[in-house]
């Protein structure tokens, strides 16, 4: 928290209200002026800060906005009236009255004229005749006209119009007005003059009764507090002060003394008896001393975080202490010397500058339903491919290709220009030390080249004689050479050409124009120019643009030479390409983003041989950003990428801001007498071509001046932002000099450069907060001399209170304690969201504001890392929730992020309520949030990186810039900050929840050589020749364990009961997840070394081993790793039955899966549901394949199987696809229908032929899964004869599960047979046993106490699968649950209907929130496992579901 009693809110009650109003009032007009206005009402006199007291001087002019000490007169005003005749038959009557002292003067105006468009055009006059002052309190509907008058509509009634005005300003002497019929544009005047009505004049006071300003402030505060501490607009704030003042004046007029007022307002219930005035009453204690005394009291109290009420009390106590000193006889000078010591006064002065009026120190965030900001806007074709239409090459393009192949030396440059309907090729090569320039065109007209050589881009130097081709004519500074018909190298082409050779390597290029039949041909109005310098080497290692909008990127590359001329050219070309990019979808827009990003990071040339006005750049930016705004509006699924493009391009100028860049630098030079040196060089650069570098240069100058002209600071700012001396010298108008200013120029330069910075940012910066706010709130800047002015109107329709939020943000934007700032930024973004989804002309300004708020969150969080160093977990969690909210607000598809955010809210609530599970639950939310970040990074990589690589290769971008492209995009957003915060919290949660650094899935002690791989999937079919410990960064859950692998260690989080986990335990392979990145990094450093792993149930101890330490038995074991005996299968034959009921299940007909489910039926307790089942037995597939109707399919499969035997594994997919072409024999359909109906199952065909076709396709998919890659390679490893593998199909009705579970009746991690281990997921069980990321809810339960399950981990799986009432067809092969080979999960179970993937919200899940419900469900799962284990007499691996609280078991097998 801030170490400032003053900073937090109002302590010093006596600083003038006018000062407060100046702060607030300046905000909507100009954010830039906020800081300047903070000190408008303070003066420094000598070494003391004095707060200005504005006392009313009767009879003297006072601006109406300044609010003085309130003065009550005891002399009532007299009533005045006047009558006027308008246009002969219209009567105007004006009445003026003041009802009582201290009240407003009321002016009633009545006109015998009825019009709905009648306006009073008016103002009041104080002490300067003819000068109108505009009162702050105005009738409803009043508008300010050109800041010179007010216009108030009359109220129409029958044939007359009425208006009542109340004037509160006691200095107002008269009211002047005209009347306007706006519809007819008709003015009513008083004989050609203004109507002038005198107001009541107050008599000179024989007695003044004052209400001190500090009491007005307290009364205003109390009113504000009663109204719920609202965010007031400046107008509301003024009204509140006036109302507070009026309330006190009325009390005084009724006889209440100021002392009684003070006693009441400062909560002193003892009325003060007014006797003889005391010393303290006759001597006024200066407010500055009260402020200092209050500060001293606060320091002595330990700088507590006072509430606003406490601060007011403290201030009054300080006043009492000083009054007591006066009573004892001390003088004010003595008190001053006593309390003003050292830095106290300076510190108090600093506190006053940060004091906030009518502001809560933290904004009150609205309670929102976070689901309201969920976006499910996903582009379906993320990796769509765009088929290129073969491009027809022009004559010159064909010629250029042939000529390049002909040239023996390297190509330094190649350009093809348009010459009306023809082309011009310029090819520059280098051979034997000479530069060769070859020009060719397909134009039929006679052409002459008017050319020269240059050492800089703008020179025209006469070529030396040995460089002039035959027929050339030397002129003064150039030469002319005619083109000749044909080409010596390629006579078949109908072109005219010429060749130039230059052997002087000091020449850098050739400028030229072309003369054709007396007409000059130029390059878009400029000279042609070709450089001799060698282009960056184009890389050819990024393929053919796969995963990109290749046609668009090729077009961008073609136009890059034109785009290099200036930002105007680049932005206009981008605008021309937007339609094509949009049509190409997300990948098209990704191409534009990559191009603009390469530009922004200076990988592309910004300006080359082209002088362009800033206003032209601004206009081009406006055109591009307008088009992007249209895409944002019409295609919400692309908003995230459009935001990124906009922030890269910059805002562009509205009005004539672009031209002001040129104009204002001249004014700065003139006003501050700095017309030479660096400022003149910068001026020339700005006039030639302004760029985002100018924002950095301006900031460097400001930093240099603020550092007392330290030139090192100037260079540091430049270098920190990527601008070196070499870059300054590379501009077409180079900056050679360093700044060198005089001390007397400091104040003016800081003022003018500060204003100039806003102009530069308005054009170039897309994420600058101050200029973005000003652009939305509106501002006006008058022109000076020859300069144009600019006026930006506020964006209409912004939510009420939004300006106050932005003001809060700007007031706190540099605070060290960033938490209140983050809350303000996010509240502003939330308030802005509805406006961002509406179409309006100024939408892009709101987008830029949102981008700026987003960016400020990131910088604030990074600044706040230090305050989190010793922070409690709940504070880190709160920061995580704020940053996560920010990321969600910037994302197109944010449903997962929103549910993560709701998870953090629940975790915080659990933590604050001391729930014993808070850390365990928070760890699951952390894991899910990490998964969400990983998915987002992968999406960016998929969308952006291929385009960056392909376009980067075409444009010759530095390889390092291409390689880190997507990484830098991610780092620039909130995801990087969020990841850092998660890394800080993770070890805290693991320690609190006693999780340790490991989760051991298969605890096998082993020894092996360390190998590091990215994905287990990539090496699952590999065979290692020596025992290998794999450190795999990614393990999804369905992979095979490679031969020769003795351990798999991963930071990934596969479920303990996932297929890969089961296979690891079956194969006696050590398998564990490591949560500590430091431990994992240390293991990776041991790559190639021999390690021993000793796992326990919760840890893995590892140590390095020397090979000589092994015994012979161990060595033999290492050599024999991976060797297995072949597994034989009995061939299954067709029994003559296409379908059987569960009573007919035998080992010859079906696999163990079907037999086990039939065995359970009728044997388990009635509370355990067993789904009804039928089966398609072994041999049916082969029999169907042999049917005549499927002869062609059978022949095709036999051909493919031969290829498979020969080692062509690519045919596996084709075999599966071919199986889907099988036709169903009528007998199969009839038998299956009969068995299903007789068993009480629904028959799909009853719902129509289409439903049966869905079922038949699902059956074929189960049969085809025999050729799954994973299954095929797994059977090969154990030498199982794949030909003998038969597939039955178990048919069951799908239970549309609320939850699914898997039970192991012996804890697989510890081997403890007294303990049941189970995992639970929402929806269907496929997310548990399949390759779905995240963890399930896991628990253990002692068999001796089945009613006390112990949670081991809460769920982090982001999605669940749900399905309608349907049928599922389960694989049931003869190659599963064999001795030494489980084979579980290798083959597919296929529901007839597609599952719906639902993003899960655990924060509203009964299993998470309701402890009794959770205990009931988990206990029933444990009891079911224990009962089924008892039935079989052996450990079981059980799968089941929960529906409406009832438990169903869908299969069981022996636990391996």
pLDDT of 791 reads 67
- Of 378-392, 726-740, 1084-1098, 1387-1401, which range is least confident? 378-392
User: Using CA atoms, how far apart are residues 151 and 123, in angstroms rounded to an integer?
Assistant: 9
What is the mean predicted confidence (pLDDT) over 1076-1099? Answer: 89
- Give every CB contact of residue 1006 below 8 A, 6+ residues apart in sequence: 1027, 1029, 1046, 1047, 1069, 1070, 1092, 1093
User: ∠518-522-523 over CA atoms, to 5°?
Assistant: 160
Tell whether the model's pLDDT for residue 548 goes beyond 80: yes
Asked if 1028 contacts 1100 with a C-beta cutoff of 8 angstroms, the reply is no
Of 1040, 1077, 1082, 1058, whose CA–CA distance to 1001 is shortest? 1058
What is the mean predicted confidence (pLDDT) over 818-836? Answer: 93
CA dihedral 214, 215, 219, 225 (to 10 degrees): 40
DSSP helix/strand/coil, 305: coil
pLDDT of 1119 reads 44
Asked if 1305 contacts 1332 with a C-beta cutoff of 8 angstroms, the reply is no
Tokens of 120: 């009073």
pLDDT tens figures, 640-655: 999 999 988 877 654 4
Asked if 1389 contacts 1370 with a C-beta cutoff of 8 angstroms, the reply is yes
When comparing pLDDT for 424 and 1383, which is higher? 424
pLDDT of 364 reads 84
When comparing pLDDT for 950 and 82, which is higher? 950
When comparing pLDDT for 263 and 749, which is higher? 749
Query: Residue 418: beta bridge partners?
Result: 423
DSSP helix/strand/coil, 30: coil
Contacts 24+ apart (CB under 8 A), 831-840: 831/799, 831/801, 831/802, 831/805, 832/799, 832/802, 833/373, 833/889, 834/799, 835/797, 835/798, 835/799, 837/636, 838/797, 839/633, 840/795, 840/796, 840/797
Tokens of 167: 């004037």
* Sequential DSSP letters for 362-388: S--PPP--GGGG--B---S-TT---PP
Task: Find the catalytic residue in 736, 1059, 1282, 1304.
Answer: 1059
Asked if 624 contacts 578 with a C-beta cutoff of 8 angstroms, the reply is yes
User: ∠930-1360-384 over CA atoms, to 5°?
Assistant: 75
Of 1428, 1006, 1252, whose CA–CA distance to 1243 is shortest? 1252
What is the mean predicted confidence (pLDDT) over 1376-1394? Answer: 74
Helix or strand (DSSP H, E) at 25: helix 17-29
User: Using CA atoms, how far apart are residues 1165 and 1202, in angstroms rounded to an integer?
Assistant: 51
- Of 310-314, 737-741, 795-799, 1155-1159, which range is least confident? 310-314
User: Using CA atoms, how far apart are residues 833 and 369, in angstroms rounded to an integer?
Assistant: 14
User: Using CA atoms, how far apart are residues 1338 and 1016, in angstroms rounded to an integer?
Assistant: 24
What is the mean predicted confidence (pLDDT) over 874-895? Answer: 94
pLDDT of 657 reads 54
- Give every CB contact of residue 1205 below 8 A, 6+ residues apart in sequence: none
- Give every CB contact of residue 173 below 8 A, 6+ residues apart in sequence: 124, 125, 126, 127, 198, 199, 201
pLDDT tens figures, 964-988: 889 888 887 889 889 889 988 998 9
* Sequential DSSP letters for 664-676: HHHHHHHHTT--S
pLDDT tens figures, 689-719: 677 788 899 999 999 999 999 999 999 999 9
User: Using CA atoms, how far apart are residues 1172 and 1168, in angstroms rounded to an integer?
Assistant: 13
User: ∠1304-1309-1313 over CA atoms, to 5°?
Assistant: 55
Checking DSSP bridges between strand 1168-1169 and strand 1446-1454, what pairing results, if any?
parallel
Tell whether the model's pLDDT for residue 999 goes beyond 60: yes
pLDDT band for position 1417 (cuts 50, 70, 90): very high
pLDDT tens figures, 1185-1219: 999 999 999 999 999 999 988 888 889 999 999 99
Tell whether the model's pLDDT for residue 78 goes beyond 50: no
Of 604, 579, 598, 599, whose CA–CA distance to 589 is shortest? 579
pLDDT tens figures, 178-199: 998 887 778 888 888 888 888 8
Exposure string of 601-614, with b = 16+ CB inside 10 Å and e = fewer, is eebbebbbbbebbb
Q: Which residue is listed with tokens 């001087």?
A: 57
pLDDT of 229 reads 65
pLDDT tens figures, 761-780: 766 665 678 888 888 887 66
Q: How many CA atoms does the CB half-sphere of 813 hold within 13 Å?
A: 18
What is the mean predicted confidence (pLDDT) over 211-224? Answer: 81
Asked if 1129 contacts 1285 with a C-beta cutoff of 8 angstroms, the reply is yes
Exposure string of 1245-1265, with b = 16+ CB inside 10 Å and e = fewer, is beeeeebbebbbebbbbbbbb
pLDDT of 222 reads 82
pLDDT of 778 reads 79
pLDDT of 99 reads 52
DSSP code of residue 1241: P
CA distances from 912 to 867, 875, 916, 918 (A): 20, 11, 11, 9
Q: How many CA atoms does the CB half-sphere of 691 hold within 13 Å?
A: 27
Which parts of 1334-1420 are beta strand (E)?
1337-1342, 1350-1353, 1359-1362, 1367-1373, 1390-1391, 1396-1399
DSSP code of residue 495: -
Instruction: Count H helices and E strands in the chain, helices first.
Output: 47, 50
pLDDT band for position 543 (cuts 50, 70, 90): low
Of the chain, the end-to-end C-alpha distance in Å amounts to 57
Tell whether the model's pLDDT for residue 918 goes beyond 50: yes
DSSP code of residue 1437: E
pLDDT of 1361 reads 94
What is the mean predicted confidence (pLDDT) over 143-169? Answer: 84
Query: Residue 1303: beta bridge partners?
Result: 1318, 1438
Asked if 980 contacts 860 with a C-beta cutoff of 8 angstroms, the reply is no
Tell whether the model's pLDDT for residue 268 goes beyond 50: no
pLDDT of 1149 reads 93
User: Using CA atoms, how far apart are residues 817 and 63, in angstroms rounded to an integer?
Assistant: 39
Tell whether the model's pLDDT for residue 342 goes beyond 60: no
pLDDT band for position 1437 (cuts 50, 70, 90): very high
Of 281, 288, 293, 279, whose CA–CA distance to 322 is shortest? 293
pLDDT tens figures, 493-518: 999 999 999 988 889 899 999 999 88
Tell whether the model's pLDDT for residue 2 goes beyond 70: no
Tokens of 927: 């894991």
Check residue 785 and give left, alpha or beta (phi > 0: left; psi -120 to 50: alpha): left
What is the mean predicted confidence (pLDDT) over 296-308? Answer: 67
pLDDT tens figures, 616-627: 888 899 999 999
Q: How does the average pLDDT of the chain come out, rounded?
A: 81
DSSP helix/strand/coil, 122: strand
What is the mean predicted confidence (pLDDT) over 340-362? Answer: 52
Asked if 1337 contacts 1415 with a C-beta cutoff of 8 angstroms, the reply is no
1059 is catalytic: yes
When comparing pLDDT for 922 and 309, which is higher? 922
pLDDT tens figures, 432-489: 889 999 999 999 999 999 999 998 767 899 999 999 999 999 998 899 999 999 888 8
Which parts of 116-159 are beta strand (E)?
118-125, 132-133, 143-145, 149-153, 155-157
User: Using CA atoms, how far apart are residues 1291 and 1273, in angstroms rounded to an integer?
Assistant: 27
Tokens of 173: 């002497």
Tokens of 530: 């070709």
Tell whether the model's pLDDT for residue 293 goes beyond 60: yes
pLDDT tens figures, 117-127: 889 999 988 77
pLDDT of 83 reads 82
pLDDT tens figures, 1247-1286: 888 999 999 999 999 999 999 888 888 777 777 777 888 9
What is the mean predicted confidence (pLDDT) over 1357-1381? Answer: 84
Tokens of 449: 């080249």
Helix or strand (DSSP H, E) at 1359: strand 1359-1362
Contacts 24+ apart (CB under 8 A), 990-995: 990/923, 990/1075, 992/873, 992/919, 993/919, 993/920, 993/923, 995/920, 995/923, 995/1075
> Where are the alpha helices (H) located in 203-358, listed in sequence order?
213-226, 234-253, 258-265, 279-282, 287-300, 308-327, 332-339, 344-353
Helix or strand (DSSP H, E) at 1301: strand 1299-1304
Tokens of 164: 């009542």
Of 1310, 1327, 1273, 1320, whose CA–CA distance to 1415 is shortest? 1320
* Sequential DSSP letters for 682-730: HHHHHHH---THHHHHHHHHHHHHHTTS-HHHHHHHHHHTT--HHHHHH
Q: Which residue is listed with tokens 């007499």?
A: 1433
Asked if 35 contacts 335 with a C-beta cutoff of 8 angstroms, the reply is no
């Amino acid at each position: 928290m801030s170490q400032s009693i003053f900073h937090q809110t109002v302590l010093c009650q006596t600083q003038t209200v006018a000062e407060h109003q100046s702060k607030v009032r300046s905000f909507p007009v100009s954010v830039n002026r906020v800081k300047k206005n903070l000190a408008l009402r303070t003066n420094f006199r000598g070494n003391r800060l004095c707060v200005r007291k504005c006392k009313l001087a009767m009879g003297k002019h006072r601006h109406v906005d300044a609010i003085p000490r309130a003065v009550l007169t005891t002399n009532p005003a007299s009533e005045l009236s006047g009558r006027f005749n308008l246009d002969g038959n219209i009567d105007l009557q004006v009445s003026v009255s003041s009802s009582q002292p201290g009240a407003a003067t009321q002016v009633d105006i009545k006109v015998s004229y009825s019009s709905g468009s009648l306006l009073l055009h008016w103002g009041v006059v104080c002490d300067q005749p003819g000068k109108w002052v505009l009162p702050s309190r105005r009738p409803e509907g009043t508008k300010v006209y050109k800041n010179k008058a007010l216009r108030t509509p009359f109220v129409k009634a029958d044939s007359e119009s009425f208006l009542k005005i109340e004037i509160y300003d006691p200095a107002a002497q008269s009211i002047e007005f005209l009347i306007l019929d706006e519809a007819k544009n008709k003015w009513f005047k008083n004989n050609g003059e203004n109507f002038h009505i005198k107001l009541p004049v107050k008599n000179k006071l024989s007695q003044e009764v004052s209400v001190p300003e500090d009491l007005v402030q307290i009364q205003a505060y109390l009113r504000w507090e009663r109204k719920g501490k609202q965010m007031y607009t400046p107008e509301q704030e003024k009204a509140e002060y006036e109302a507070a003042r009026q309330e006190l004046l009325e009390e005084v007029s009724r006889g209440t003394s100021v002392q009684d007022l003070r006693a009441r307002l400062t909560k002193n219930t003892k009325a003060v008896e007014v006797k003889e005035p005391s010393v303290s009453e006759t001597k006024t204690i200066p407010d500055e001393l009260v402020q200092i005394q209050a500060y001293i009291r606060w320091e002595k109290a330990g700088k507590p975080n006072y509430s606003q009420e406490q601060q007011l009390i403290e201030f009054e106590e300080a006043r009492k202490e000083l009054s007591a000193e006066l009573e004892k006889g001390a003088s004010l000078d003595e008190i001053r010397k006593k309390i003003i010591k050292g830095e106290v006064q300076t510190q108090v002065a600093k506190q006053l500058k940060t004091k906030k009026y009518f502001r809560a120190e933290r904004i009150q965030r609205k309670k929102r339903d976070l689901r309201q900001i969920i976006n499910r806007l996903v582009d379906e074709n993320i990796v769509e491919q765009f088929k290129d239409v073969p491009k027809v090459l022009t004559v010159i393009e064909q010629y250029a290709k042939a000529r390049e192949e002909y040239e023996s030396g390297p190509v330094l440059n190649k350009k093809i220009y348009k010459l009306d309907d023809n082309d011009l090729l310029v090819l520059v090569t280098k051979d034997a030390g000479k530069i060769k320039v070859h020009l060719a065109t397909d134009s039929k007209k006679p052409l002459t080249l008017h050319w020269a050589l240059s050492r800089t881009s703008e020179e025209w130097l006469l070529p030396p004689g040995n460089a002039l081709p035959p027929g050339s004519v030397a002129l003064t500074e150039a030469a002319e050479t005619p083109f000749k018909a044909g080409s010596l190298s390629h006579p078949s082409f109908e072109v005219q050409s010429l060749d130039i050779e230059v052997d002087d390597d000091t020449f850098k290029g050739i400028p030229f124009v072309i003369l054709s039949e007396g007409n000059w041909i130029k390059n878009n109005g400029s000279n042609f120019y070709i450089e001799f310098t060698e282009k960056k080497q184009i890389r050819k290692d990024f393929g053919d643009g796969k995963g990109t909008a290749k046609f668009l990127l090729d077009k961008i590359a073609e136009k890059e030479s034109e785009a290099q001329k200036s930002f105007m050219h680049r932005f206009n070309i981008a605008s021309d390409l937007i339609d094509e990019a949009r049509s190409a979808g997300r990948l098209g827009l990704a191409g534009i983003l990559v191009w603009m990003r390469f530009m922004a990071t200076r990988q592309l040339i910004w300006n080359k041989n082209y002088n362009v006005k800033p206003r032209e750049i601004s206009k081009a930016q406006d055109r591009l950003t307008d088009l992007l705004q249209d895409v944002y509006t019409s295609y919400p699924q692309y908003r995230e990428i459009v935001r990124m493009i906009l922030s890269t391009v910059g805002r562009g100028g509205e009005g004539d801001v672009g031209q002001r860049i040129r104009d204002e630098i001249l004014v700065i030079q003139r006003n501050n007498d700095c017309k030479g040196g660096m400022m003149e060089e910068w001026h020339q650069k700005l006039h030639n071509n302004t760029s985002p570098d100018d924002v950095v240069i301006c900031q460097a100058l400001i930093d240099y001046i603020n550092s007392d002209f330290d030139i090192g600071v100037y260079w540091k700012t430049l270098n920190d932002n990527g601008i070196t001396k070499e870059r300054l010298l590379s501009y077409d108008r180079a900056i050679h000099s360093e700044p060198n200013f005089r001390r007397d120029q400091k104040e003016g330069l800081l003022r003018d450069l500060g204003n100039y910075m806003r102009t530069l940012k308005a054009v170039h910066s897309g994420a600058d907060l101050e200029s973005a706010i000003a652009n939305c709130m509106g501002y006006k800047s008058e022109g000076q001399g020859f300069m144009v002015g600019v006026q930006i109107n506020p964006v209409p329709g912004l939510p009420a209170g939004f300006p106050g939020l932005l003001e809060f943000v700007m007031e706190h934007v540099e605070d060290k304690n960033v938490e209140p700032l983050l809350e303000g930024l996010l509240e502003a973004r939330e308030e802005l969201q509805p406006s961002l989804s509406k179409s309006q002309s100024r939408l892009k300004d709101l987008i830029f504001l949102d981008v700026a708020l987003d960016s400020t969150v990131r910088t604030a969080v990074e600044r706040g890392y230090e305050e989190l160093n010793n922070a409690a977990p709940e504070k880190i969690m709160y920061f995580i929730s704020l940053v996560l909210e920010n990321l969600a607000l910037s994302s197109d598809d944010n449903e997962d992020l929103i549910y993560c955010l709701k998870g953090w809210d629940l975790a915080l609530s659990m933590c604050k309520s001391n729930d014993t599970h808070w850390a365990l639950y928070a760890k699951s939310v952390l894991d899910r949030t990490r998964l969400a970040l990983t998915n987002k990074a992968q999406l960016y990589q998929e969308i952006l990186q291929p385009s960056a690589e392909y376009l980067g290769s075409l444009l010759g971008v530095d390889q390092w810039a291409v390689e880190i492209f997507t990484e830098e995009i991610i780092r620039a957003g909130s995801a990087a900050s969020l990841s850092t915060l998660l890394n800080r919290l993770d070890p805290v949660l693991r320690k609190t929840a006693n999780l340790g650094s490991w989760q051991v899935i298969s605890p096998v002690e082993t020894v092996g050589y360390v190998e590091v791989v990215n994905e287990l999937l990539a090496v699952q079919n590999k065979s290692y020749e020596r025992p290998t410990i794999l450190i795999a960064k990614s393990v999804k859950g369905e992979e095979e364990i490679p031969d020769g692998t003795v351990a798999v260690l991963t930071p990934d989080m596969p479920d303990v009961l996932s297929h890969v986990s089961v296979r690891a335990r079956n194969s006696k392979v050590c398998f564990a997840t490591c949560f500590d990145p430091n431990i994992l990094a240390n293991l990776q450093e041991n790559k190639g070394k021999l390690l021993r792993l000793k796992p326990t149930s919760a840890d893995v101890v590892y140590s390095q081993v020397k090979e000589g330490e092994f015994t012979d038995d161990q060595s033999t074991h290492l050599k024999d790793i991976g060797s297995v005996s072949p597994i034989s299968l009995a061939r299954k034959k067709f029994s003559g039955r296409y379908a059987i009921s569960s009573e007919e299940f035998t080992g010859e007909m079906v696999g163990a899966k079907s037999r086990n489910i039939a065995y359970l039926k009728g044997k388990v307790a009635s509370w355990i549901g067993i789904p009804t089942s039928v089966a398609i037995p072994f041999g049916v597939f082969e029999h169907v394949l042999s049917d005549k109707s499927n002869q062609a399919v059978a022949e095709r499969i036999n051909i493919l199987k031969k290829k498979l035997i020969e080692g062509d594994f690519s045919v596996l997919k084709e075999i599966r696809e071919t199986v889907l072409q099988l036709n169903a024999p009528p007998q199969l359909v009839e038998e299956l229908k009969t068995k299903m109906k007789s068993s009480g199952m629904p028959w799909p065909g009853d719902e129509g032929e289409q439903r049966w076709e869905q079922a038949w396709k699902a059956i074929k998919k189960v049969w085809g899964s025999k050729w799954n890659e994973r299954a095929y390679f797994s059977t090969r490893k154990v030498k199982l004869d794949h030909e003998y593998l038969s597939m039955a199909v178990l048919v069951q009705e799908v239970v549309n599960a609320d939850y699914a579970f898997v039970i192991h009746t012996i804890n697989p991690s510890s081997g403890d047979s007294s303990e049941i281990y189970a995992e639970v997921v929402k929806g269907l069980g496929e997310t548990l046993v399949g390759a779905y990321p995240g963890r399930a809810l896991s628990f253990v339960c002692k068999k001796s106490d089945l009613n006390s399950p112990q949670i081991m981990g809460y769920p982090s799986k982001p999605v669940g699968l749900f399905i309608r009432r349907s049928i599922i067809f389960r694989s049931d092969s003869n190659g599963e649950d064999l001795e030494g080979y489980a084979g579980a999960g290798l083959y597919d179970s296929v529901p007839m209907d597609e599952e719906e993937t639902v993003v899960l919200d655990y924060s509203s899940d009964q299993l998470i929130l309701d402890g009794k419900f959770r205990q009931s469900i988990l206990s029933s799962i444990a009891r079911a496992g224990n009962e089924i284990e008892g039935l079989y007499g052996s450990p079981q691996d059980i799968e089941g579901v929960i529906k409406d609280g009832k438990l169903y078991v869908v299969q069981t097998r022996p636990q391996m």
